[in-house]
Amino acid sequence: MRRKMLIGSLIIGAGLGLGWILTGAGELRAEEDDEHGRRHEREHEEEGRGSRAPAAGPGQDSYMSECGSCHVPYPPGLLGARQWAVIMTRLNDHYGESATMTPETARTLAAYLQANAGRDGGSGAAADEELPRITTSAWFRDEHDEIGPEVWRRESIRSAANCGACHGGAEQGVYDEDGVRIPR
């Protein structure tokens, strides 16, 4: 499994790396810390976050097209059931944008997210005041504690929500550290 992920991320990484070289941008290899990475992988598995790719099943197509066309299809396990429910009730103001869809699609999607949600807690989700954010959760901050604020603001990254800027396999749900390349 780990080998497959590694090969996948190498291929994607090679493609992206070529792109950056062609555009004249350098790249910075993230510090490797295998022990650190393994520890967090174990923790995530314990928290039900081991499987990162949006799971197959009814609703996956909707998830990839309704959500994944504007941003990386964040692994549904990274938010809890209650947090996804809050997001789904406020699609007309989805972090400042409209993410509306037909009621049928919304029902399909809500069921999919509930079925694949992780643990609630950590990030925002004060009921109906603030939309939950993966990026404010304790584990996300912990995983990215070596990334300074100026790195997030780079034009090549834009925001912490742009997983794919550094995680070459984000679209496929691959987030292991071997695939990380931080663009300048």
Beta bridge partners of 28: 182
Interface residue with another protein, options 50, 161, 172, 178 (CB under 8 A): 161
Interface residue with another protein, options 31, 33, 45, 97 (CB under 8 A): 97
Looking at the Cβ atoms of 6 and 111, the one nearer to another protein is 111
Q: Do the beta carbons of residue 55 and residue 116 sit within 8 Å?
A: yes
Q: Is residue 165 part of the contact set for another protein (CB under 8 A)?
A: yes
- Distance CA(136)–CA(142), nearest Å, equals 10
Structure tokens, 50: 């081991």
Q: Is residue 100 part of the contact set for another protein (CB under 8 A)?
A: yes
**CA 132 to centroid of chain Cα atoms:** 13
Spell out, one character per residue from 38 to 77, where the chain touches another protein: x when CB under 8 A holds, - when not. Answer: -----------------------xx--xx--xxxx-----
- Distance CA(166)–CA(160), nearest Å, equals 10
| Piece in contact with another protein (CB under 8 A), picked from 14-22, 23-31, 99-107, 142-150 | 99-107
Looking at the Cβ atoms of 104 and 145, the one nearer to another protein is 104
Q: Do the beta carbons of residue 178 and residue 4 sit within 8 Å?
A: no
Q: Do the beta carbons of residue 84 and residue 110 sit within 8 Å?
A: yes
Looking at the Cβ atoms of 51 and 105, the one nearer to another protein is 105
Q: What is the dihedral of CA 71, 121, 51, 10, to 10 degrees?
A: 50
Residues found near another protein in the complex (CB under 8 A): 61-62, 65-66, 69-72, 92, 96-102, 104-105, 108, 157-159, 161-162, 164-165
